[in-house]
Every structure is written in C-alpha cells, then in structure tokens.
Amino acid sequence: KAGVTQTPRYLIKTRGQQVTLSCSPISGHRSVSWYQQTPGQGLQFLFEYFSETQRNKGNFPGRFSGRQFSNSRSEMNVSTLELGDSALYLCASMDGQGTNSPLHFGNGTRLTVT
C-alpha cells in the first residue's frame, strides 16, 4: 500500500505570496492532519480533516487554511506569506477515529519564504 504522498517536496516563495500544498493519504484513510515543523517551535498541529469536514484546529492565524476532497486528498493554503512561515509542513493520515490509531506521516513539503 502506498504511503502518504506530499507534493511538492520543496517550495521557494516570496513574502506576500500565497502557496498551496497537497497531500494524498494512504488509501482508505479518511482523516488527514497537518503539522508545521520548525527548529524553534518544534512540531505544531495545524488542523485535521475527516470526511471533508474540519474536525480540529490548532492555534494558527487565519492565513492558514485547508480543505479535504471527497477522495480524502487534502490541500493546505497559506496566504500572505511571512518569513516565519518557512518550515517543513507534514501531512499525516489515519484510518480510525480513536486515540489508539497511529498517524502515518508523509515526507513533508519544505517551504522557504524569502
């Protein structure tokens, strides 16, 4: 079974631009979560989608948004990019709904904002 696929692997954007990141979960997984990883803040939860509905949201400004499609694929959008948005963005999928189900992560998209 294919793992979680994130595209693109690398992105370079300029301050003020917007960016869209894509995530394809493991086949059959209906939950997709997004995390931001930076050296200073570590791993922080952005949001989770389940069956096209946002189920949980972290403490990020409204510039960060996401959506999920009927095939469970998810996109994350960041508008009006700031230098501090430079990070590794990780997508994870899960096949259950309970706390016992592990998250399976993709290799991430490395975003650099200049």
Site for another protein, rule CB under 8 A: 4, 6, 33, 35, 42-43, 45, 48, 55-56, 58, 90, 92, 97-100, 102-108
- Among 30, 33, 4, residue whose Cα is nearest residue 106: 4
Report, in Å, the least distance between residue 15 CB and another protein: 26
* R_g over Cα of the chain: 13
**Comparison of 17 and 43: residue with beta carbon closer to another protein:** 43
Measured at the alpha carbon of residue 46, what is the angle toward residues 44 and 51, in degrees to the nearest 5?
135
Q: How far is the CB of 95 from another protein (least distance, A)?
A: 13
The residue among 45 and 79 lying less far from another protein, judged by its C-beta, is 45
CB 103 within 8 A of CB 43: no
Task: For another protein, give the closer residue by CB, 13 or 58.
Answer: 58
CB of 10 to another protein, least distance (A): 11
In the β-sheet with 64-68, what is the strand arrangement from edge to edge?
A: 5-7, 19-24, 74-78, 64-68
Output 80 or 107, the one with its CB closest to another protein.
Answer: 107
**Could you give phi then psi for residue 47, rounded to 5 degrees?**
-165, 165
